[in-house]
Structure 1
Amino acid sequence: MPIYEYRCPRCDVYEIIRLMGAAPAEDACPTCGQPARRKISAPHVSRTGTAAFQLIDSTERSASEPTVVSGGLPTTGRSASPIYSTNPLHRKLPRP
């Protein structure tokens, strides 16, 4: 449901949630009871679920709060030197 803003001449701006198209042009102020006119304002459009917003949000957050790395580099699961043969005598051969 949309949020409609009303401006009271005595009080300040307040918001009311009504069905779309059911908001009158004037409404009674909940604080003082005077008639308040509906204010035209920008819609509140949210893109929080999109991948672009999540990327922008993580980029802005990492500028002020960088992630702390603890530990070493991740391993790939492979050994440092590739094993070509499983014969133990081949390990004694000279390497280039």
Structure 2
Amino acid sequence: MENAYGSTRLGGFLTDFVRWGEIYDVVVDDSFQVKGIGTELIKQLIDHEKVSRVRTFSLGASPGKSFFYERLSFRKVTDLGGEYFILVRKERDRELE
């Protein structure tokens, strides 16, 4: 079944629900880009109540997408065959002690 974004699959996510979460395959069709859809998808994912304790999120991105993830407070950590980013929520440290 297709959705409003023109795909049956919006992405993937793997987590331990405490310290770490890996975001996979978040892709917005070219015709829907620059409309806030990707931003909203990432924000809803990292702000979801089920991952509220997760301290670090990571993801790989296609070259040239740095601006998008850096705008969402992700920090580029490597450039090996693509770009890899992390978002560390240090405010979670007290909750994890």
Normalising by structure 2, what TM-score? 0.22
Larger RCO, structure (CA 8 Å, separation 6 or more): 2
Q: Report which of the two has the higher share of strand.
A: 2
Which has a greater percent of helix? 2
Relative to the length of structure 1, the TM-score reads 0.22
